[in-house]
Structure 1
């Protein structure tokens, strides 16, 4: 979540309230967060020196507006251009796609290539599971259960194939925006 908040603050300085609204307005399509988890992430980013308070409203509420520090911008860039980690390729890919325009044009193609490679790795893992299952006999007691488990695997395969093709097509269709 910290990197998503850094990306949102790189777009423009925002208060906690603004960040909650930003999550609701667009980020929630790929990442959900409560106001409490956003608040905790802001506190951590402040402690680490990745963001700072840009302004405190002079009214009684004293709303704080946050902005990214140079260290925060470097952290965000390192995350965007670094390895794709985590168990879920989609959860790692979509935030990067959302903020891809914050990178220099010559960096974008590499990010898209890493996303595609990660999706291909996950697809290969799922295909290996499918091949292993195809070579096994299903015990009779799992006859009612197995079709649904296999359907879950088939869904994962179809989803990974779609993601691979989508990212390949996006990179090919947006060479000026993706690769500069």
Structure 2
């Protein structure tokens, strides 16, 4: 990421912590949650690696090609998984956005951001992720129980099975994706 160093490192930290939590979620007893968490961990760590401020550590030119291949593979896997779960469509869009940013960086002179991407593609991705962030944020707002309603007793869930933490994880990655797309 090119720009101020402090926000770049904050984005790296946010994405790395999110990727780390997704690794914890891979210990879930539910197979579908483990698969989704694996894709989200890849996305979190990949975003962290791509967001490292170039003023601090300039990646070699071939790194952008590696990112494009890794996330292209993740996109194919998400497309295959989307047959059974619509949540994987979001993974597909995220992986394709990462491929797009990697290709933009690979073809940019000197690997710099700043207007190098296609405005239409960047705009569509920004609108998608802005909508996703708003939707994910609304889903985190607790809904008050109506008067007299029976409140089910929740069982103790492990770290891998906490839906509110998984939603917060997805929200933070969506915010990170927005920040990264704004620099393209």
Larger relative contact order, structure 1 or 2 (CA cutoff 8 Å, min sep 6)? 2
Q: TM-score, structure 1 length as denominator?
A: 0.41
**What TM-score do you get using the length of structure 2 for normalisation?**
0.40
Select the structure that is richer in strand.
1
Which has the higher Rg, Structure 1 or Structure 2?
A: 1
